[in-house]
Structure formats: C-alpha cells, structure tokens
Structure 1
Amino acid sequence: MAAKRLKSWGNNRAGQLGDGTWTDFRPTATTVLGLTSDEVVKLAAGGAGSASGHGLALLTDGTVQSWGANSSGQLGDGSVFSHNAPGQVVNLSDATEIAAGGSHSVALRADRTVVAWGPNNYGQLGNGSNTDSSEPVPVEGLTKVIAIAAGLNHSLALREDGTVWAWGYNINGQLGDGTSASRNVAAPVSGLTGVTRIAAGADHNLALVGPPSNGGVVMAWGYNATGQLGDNSTINRYTPVKTQDTWSGEVSHIAAGAKHSMVVTGGDKGLHTWGQNTSGQLGDGTTDYRITPTPVPGLTGIQIVAGGREHTIVLLNDGTVRSWGNNGSGQLGNGNTTDSGTPVTTQTALTGVDKIAAPVGGDFSLAN
C-alpha cells in the first residue's frame, strides 16, 4: 500500500502548496512532495495576502520542513528564494511545536525555549533587533514555554506558569500590554494568568483561562473593528477583555483567522464563531459581522478548527474535513471557486485526516 501523503489546496502563487509547481491555484487537494503522513507531527501555515504563503511541517525527528514564499527568509533555509517543494529549516533539530505568521515562523524547542526566523521589521522575531533573519534566532528571555502562536506580524508564547508573553507589531494593542508600541523583545500580556491555550489572528488574540474541563473563560485583545474579540463592541482593546460566553459547556479548542474567531464547545463539540464575515467565513449562512459568538448550525463532532484570511476549516471526529468562506483560490478544496457561507465537504476522497492548518492571512489549506 502506498504511504499516505500530506495534502494541500488553494492559492499557490508562491509555491505554498509544496507540490513542485507554480500553478496559480488548485481547488482540489494536491500532494506536498516528499513528506509522508506518518513522519509529520505538526502543521503550520503562514501568509499575508493572496500573493504570499508558506507551509511548515514538524517531523518525528524534531526537524522542520518549509516551503513557499521566502522573500524575507521565512523558510529558514538560509536563503531568500521561494521554493515550491519542502526543504529543511537549518540549525533546528529539536522542535516540538511550530507556528507561522504573515511572513515569519516560530518554533518551540525541546528545552522549552523559542526560536524565530523571517522578517523582523516590527520585532516579530523577539531577539532584540529589527534585522531579518533567514535562519532561526533565539527569542530573548523566554524559558519554560509550553505553547506558541503567530499573528500577522506578532507572536505569542504561553509559559508553564500560565502567563502569556508577546512581541512584535502592536499598533492595535495585539501585544496586550496596554500600549500601542511595538516590541522586539517579549513582554507579559497584562493581567493574564491561569491560561491553558492561546491563538493568534492577524492582529488580535485569544486565550483560554482555566482548564477546559471546568468550562474555561475566553479572553481576547487587539484589533476589533469587525467584532473579532467577541465582547459586543468594535473597540480595539489594548489589554485582555472577556469574550461573551454565549455557549454552554466546556471550551475544548480556540482558533483565530485574520479577523474572525472560533471556539469548539460542549459535549457535542459544536462551533461558535464571531467577527468578520465578508465571505461567509463565520459559517452561519450570512455575510453579517458578529460582535458576539454565534453558533454554526448543524455542525458537531469537531476536533480542530483553523482560520485563514477569509475562510474556515474544521476537522471532524470521523477524519473528514469541512470548510466555508472565501473560495476565490479554491481554498475550500471542493473543486470550485465559489464562496460558501455554510460548511462544504472538502473533497470526499480526503479521509483519515488528523491535522489541519490554514494561514492567518492567506488563502490555502493543509491536511495530513
């Protein structure tokens, strides 16, 4: 039997589908070259607009493969040349987590320190400088990290003491420190303790406070012009505020797209979404923005949810994938380029999936 392969679909202008071509886009799944499903532990996707995007895959041996756009060194291979097939990130052999932002990449190492690479104009590498790096550099001052996330031009780290640290671009308060000043070194998000999960959108963030088994409270901060913080306002927040918990039951997963947010909740693992809905990315059958969480009708059994620039993708308990929202580059993977405001099946042949990813500012999808 042939080995199962990592799949990708959607925009490919920068080679971000990793299939060895520069084909403009693919509306059905193609195969990422050279990587079998069994060796891929984690996936991450980055992107900042329709003409960019890059993918990351963490392998069982602790190395990271990267492909796609590389104008600022976001592939971490020591060059600034884009690649349409995977290649290895240099000087990194002990990664345990990966994250991808608009055009930068982040990895958590086995010793629970963090490295980053790519553009650094806003300090998104966190190494005390504003110089781009095409190879991993240490994020200064961070130890005992257990999770990472990356926004368009900022990054987050969750430490084992339940605090969240942030660095990079901050004009809309996405660092959560009460200011709008960007930082090239990590600093704590104001007033957040007891955090168990984090997620980053383009310019906003989510944090789950308290264990999911006890329900948990979702906190949010940063850009809020389309209601993506879920606090019943459209006011930017420079420190964390509580998202209105319109759901019942525990929160098992949180995620963010560019300007929309998602939580998986309850025993049935249903989904609530809020924020921008220009292309139907909230999945409620409308294009109305939502400033408080709204349920996605008829969708349960969700394991994982991920958000792109204007699309949403979910992995169900049965190993199949659904998606909705913008489909101009085929990022819904259902064989056409028509937007959908309700969930559609992402290629019925795509089964047995256990990992998905979408770029916070891009238009493609990954599944393994």
Structure 2
Amino acid sequence: MVRLVLVALCVCLCAACGSPLQCGELEYDADEHQCVCPAGRHAIDGACVALVGDGGIVGDAGDGSAPTDASSAQELGDTGVDGSVSLCPEGWADCDSSDDNGCETQLDTLAHCGGCGDACGWACEHGVCNDAIAIAAGGLHSCALREAGDVVCWGDNEYGQLGDGTTLDSLVPVRVAGLQNAVAISSSRGSHTCALLESGQVLCWGANNSGQLGNGETSTAQPTPVPVLSPGAAFVGVSAGSNSTCAWRSSGEALCWGYNGSGQIGDGTEERRVVPTPVEGIDDAIAMRVGGGHACAIRSGRTLECWGSNAHGQLGDGTDGAGVPDRADSASPTAVANLGPSVYSIGAGLWNTCAVLAAGGLRCWGRNSEGQVGDGTTTLRNAPTTVRGLESGVLGVDGGTFHACALISTGAVECWGRNNEGELGDGTSVDRSAPGPVALRGAAIALATGVAHSCVVTAEGAVECWGRNLAGNLGDGTTLSRTTPVAVLPPAVSSE
C-alpha cells in the first residue's frame, strides 16, 4: 500500500480562517485571506501532501514511482473545487468526478484509452487506439492492418506467413517484424502475405516455392518481409493468390509474378516468373484480384479482363474446360462477357470470380459444385450470373475455395456455398446455394475470405472470424472451428 507523506503531524489553528487543520507548515495568503499549504504541497483530506515526480507520490519503496495498481492510485490526487480529483499520477484519471475513490481509472483500457471515455474497438497501446482497418485471410492464417500502419497475423506459420521471424503457429495475433507504414494487405488461400507501403513499395513474406514473393528467388521461404524487386513507378495496390501475386502501378501498369502453369501471370507464356512481369495489354489497371490459378483486372473504363486457368469457366468469357485443367486456359487477358463498363470491384475464389457492379448488384461465375456462384443452383457458370437477392447494395465480395461472401452497405455480410466447417457463419453446417446473413456481433466495414474461413473488421475496429480453425486462424486462442463469428483476441501491447 502506498503511504501519504504528511508534511506535519500537529494540529494548528490559523487565526485568519479560524479552522484547525493538520498542516504543520500552513501559510497565510494575505491576498486570498486564507490558510494555504506551501508550494509543492496540496491539501488532500485536511492534510498537506507532498506529490513527487511525474504525478506520482512517494511509495513504500520511496522511489517516487507512479502507482501500478488501482488500490494505490485511489489514494492519490489533488481535490479540485468541484469535488473531483484534479491531479492524478501519469496513466490514471478520476473519470467518475468523485473524490471518494480518487484516481480510480487506468487509461490503458479499451473504454478509456489515454483519456476518460476515449474508447477503442480492439487495442489500446500506450494511451493511443490502434484498431484494425483492413483484413486479409490466407489458407490457414489471417492478418489485420491497423491504424498505426503495422500489421498483425495469426494462425498457421509453417512457411513464415505470419511474418514474425519464426515458423511457430500462433493462436493469437503477433506483429509482423519491422513492418511500418503499411496501407494495404493481401493474402488469399495461400501461405504468403503481402503489404503495400505508403511509399508505394510492396513487401511480401511466407512461402516462396514458386517465386510468389517477387524477390528474385524461389524455394526459400521468408519469415519476415522482403521487398518485391520492381523499380519504376509506385505501386498502388497488391493482390496475393494461392502461389502467385499481382500488383498495379499508379501509371496503370499491371504486373504479376510467381507460378504460371495456367498462364496466370498473363504474359502470354506459362513460364514461372520470380520478379514482377508486365501483363499483356493491361496499362490502365485500377484494381486487380488473384484467385487460385487465374487473375483479373478492372481497366480504367470499368471493364473487366481475366486470364489463367479456365477449367471451370472462371474467366467468364463464355467458355470453360468442363473441369479439365488446361483445356480452356488463357495466358493473355480476355474480356469477361456481359458486364460492360460497369465493374466497381472484384473478388476471386479458387475456381470462381465475382464482380460488384456500379449500381451495387453482384454477378458471379465459375465452379458451382457447392453453390458458390450463389444463383440458387449448383450448375457451372462460364459467364457472369446474377447472385440471388443481391441486386443492389453490395460494396465488396471475396471468394474462398467452395464459398463466397459479400459485404453489404448496411454493414451486414452474406455468404453462400459449402458450410461443413461453418464457412457461412450462420450457426449451422448446412450448405446454401444462395446468400444468407452471417450472425455478426457488429457492423462490418471490411471483409476477407480464406480457404474455408472468413473475417471482418467491425465499425468499432475489432476483428471477427468464423469457419475452419485448424491452425488458430480464427485468432480466438483455440483451434476449434466456429459456425458463428468469434472475436479475435487483441495483440499484446508492444514495448516500443
């Protein structure tokens, strides 16, 4: 227990104010016509108390350090004229405006981060909120971009895809080593992750067996971020697929790298590329998305072109390979049919693709064996098909292996397709060939799907995930799969 250091032990009578106080060194203020404590001491509970150091008081050890627990802090403070405690030790405050319990609130909680009532949604670090603003979901791992520009990841780490310098799985978020000033992140169904920095540079980490990190090498996995080797204009976006990656520059130039067995690099060949390689004919890209063995780009005129694997009609050009690999693939971009200049955003699953139109309607195509196209059937679609019930109000879409999810303007999320591991987040394990609502805890502002799990960022800045959880990729501290969203635990506070 911290002791109050009383400057006096006697009771003295001040003639000017006529009141007995335990004051010892009481001084008479001729201007105010009252008795006051000397400089450096404060009247608390009828006593002159010496406060020492940064708002702290002399403690049991006599080191002048600030209190570290509530019972100590509650004994501190300088009572103001309104009855509240006006002087508290660093990191504490009198948030209930009562001198009965002193400085009762520590300012490092979600409800009070740096100030009374300054609430955070996910993480309070050193008196400042550092909540999630974007999300990415890989094969068995997930990552979140936070307000401070750092990135945290959790789940499978066999290839270093968590970026923390180890290959140890983590059931809770851990920081990506040395990564700062990130503005976007991506990881889709694979074991690598990429981040775009404010400077326009792209960094990637994790598996690199096909050169998907873009650092000029293969085979060597990287457990911390490495720069993509691509001099030139700044990148403005990045999309990481199963074993290839694409990015686009401020100039509109589209580039891809990594595995190219189905022509997903888009350079007219099927040769693996270990550094960014221009996509044929795409010099005005404004967005890109990489699926399993295919990729797509929105061009400046809001048209959509795709390339790579087309075994299940995922290129959307009206052809398909009837499920046979390589039969209808295209190593160069091909126009998606029946969309016109109206594409707002895109999402890509392992074998299917979706596009949000400018009016907010959703179209999907490709493999549909589990209902992942969302048209109420399980029939393969090799051209864009209307997703049932989502003809307006859609902001974004993302696809997994056998399921897909859409973010709605109301903050709701709807999913469809396979549900044997809770991928649809509706509390059941029943497949659905048309969209249905996810049982979210709060309104969503960002969405990402992995192989068989999905995650959102809520409007408060928290993160929720659901579905398969074999390696802790839901971030709730367990490996239990979940049929409804669970809160991702906040990362540990950095010592920096």
TM-score normalised to the size of structure 1? 0.85
Contact 2:303 2:341 in 1 (8 A): no
Distance 1:141 1:365 in 2: 31
> Gapped runs of 5+ residues in structure 1?
5-32, 48-52
Shift of 1:247: 4.0
Q: Which residue, 229, 237, 243 being the options, matches 2:336? A: 243
For the 8 Å contact 2:138–2:191, the answer to whether it is kept is yes
2:305 is aligned to: 219
Counting only pairs closer than 5 Å after superposition, residues 53-72 of structure 1 correspond to structure 2 as 53-72=140-159
1:93 aligns with 2:184: no
How far off its partner does 1:193 sit? Answer: 1.5
**1:262 — aligned with what?**
354
> Aligned with 1:170: secondary structure?
coil
1:357 aligned to 2:444? no
Structure 2's unaligned 5+ residue stretches are 1-108, 112-120, 321-327, 458-496
Residue 341 (structure 1) aligned with residue 430 (structure 2): no
Report the AA paired with residue 65 of structure 1: V
- Is 1:224–1:236's contact at 8 Å kept on the other side of the alignment? yes
Contact 1:34 1:86 in 2 (8 A): no
**Aligned residue number for residue 45 of structure 2:** none
Q: Check the 8 A contact 1:248/1:266 in 2, yes or no.
A: no
8 A contact 1:249–1:265 mirrored in 2? no
Distance 1:115 1:38 in 2: 21
Number of residue pairs aligned between Structure 1 and Structure 2 = 325
- Matching residue within 319, 322, 331 for 1:233: 319
- Cα-to-partner distance string for 1:293-323 (whole Å, 9 max, x where unaligned): 0111221210111111111111111111110
Q: Deviations over 1:224-257 (max 9, x none)?
A: 000000011121000101010x246722111111
Q: Find the aligned partners of 2:285 and 2:230 in 1 and give their Cα distance.
A: 19
1:115–1:137: 8 Å Cα contact kept in structure 2? Answer: yes
Shift of 1:284: 0.4
Supply the distance in 2 between the matched residues of 1:350 and 1:225 (Cα, whole angstroms): 38
Partner of 1:322: 414
CA distance in 2, matches of 1:265, 1:324: 19
Match of 2:385 in 1: 294
1:168-203 deviation digits (Å, cap 9, x = unpaired): 000000000111111111111111121111111111
Indicate the SS of the match to 1:224.
coil
The change in CA–CA distance for 1:249 and 1:223 in structure 2 (over 3 A counts) is closer
Going from structure 1 to structure 2, the CA distance change for 1:337 and 1:38 (only over 3 Å counts) comes to farther
| Aligned residue number for residue 190 of structure 1 | 280
Aligned mates of 2:130, 2:416 — CA distance in 1: 28
For residues 218 and 340 of structure 1, the distance between their equivalents in structure 2, rounded to whole angstroms, comes to 28
Aligned to 1:141, the other structure's residue is in SS state coil
Partner Cα distance (1:243, 1:314) in 2: 20
Query: CA offset at residue 132 of structure 1?
Result: 1.0
Alignment partners' CA distance in 2, 1:109 and 1:178: 30
Distance (Å, rounded) in 1 between the aligned partners of 2:293 and 2:313: 12
Question: Once the 2 structures are TM-superposed, how far is the Cα of residue 275 of structure 1 from its aligned partner?
Answer: 0.2
Conservation of the 8 A alpha-carbon contact between 2:303 and 2:340? no
SS state at 2:444 partner: coil
Residue 137 of structure 2 is matched in structure 1 by 45
Contact conserved, 1:248 with 1:265, CA < 8 A, in 2?
Answer: no
Return the alpha-carbon distance in structure 2 between the equivalents of residues 336 and 296 of structure 1: 21
Query: Is the strand fraction higher in 1 or 2?
Result: 1
Give 1:34 shift: 5.9
Q: CA deviation at 1:3?
A: 5.7
RMSD over aligned Cα, in angstroms?
1.8
Per-residue CA shift, 1:307-355, capped at 9, x if unaligned? 11111111111111110001111010000111100111111x5342111
Give 2:196's aligned residue.
Answer: 108
- Report the secondary structure of 2:208's partner residue: coil
Query: Match of 2:296, as an amino acid?
Result: L
- Find the aligned partners of 1:249 and 1:156 in 2 and give their Cα distance: 22
Equivalent-residue separation in structure 2 for 1:195 and 1:137 (angstroms): 25
Alpha-carbon distance in structure 2 between the residues aligned to 1:118 and 1:277: 30
What is the aligned partner in structure 2 of residue 12 from structure 1?
A: none
Write out aligned runs for 1:161-172 (5 A). Answer: 161-172=251-262
1:62-99 Cα offsets, whole Å, 9 max, x none, are 10000010001000000011111000000111111101
| Structure 2 equivalent of residue 273 of structure 1 | 364
Give 1:266 deviation, angstroms: 4.0
- State the one-letter code of the partner of 1:141: S
For 1:96 and 1:266, locate their aligned partners in 2 and report how far apart those are by CA, in whole Å.
24
In the alignment, is the contact (CA less than 8 A) between 2:415 and 2:424 conserved in 1?
yes
- Aligned partner of residue 287 in structure 1, secondary structure: coil
Aligned pair partner of 2:403 in 311, 333, 341: 311
1:289 Cα offset (Å): 0.7
Query: Which letter maps to 2:355?
Result: V
Aligned residues with identical type, % of pairs:
37
**1:110–1:222 CA distance, 2 compared to 1 (3 A):** same
Q: Calculate the TM-score normalised by the size of structure 2.
A: 0.63
Contact 1:66 1:86 in 2 (8 A): yes
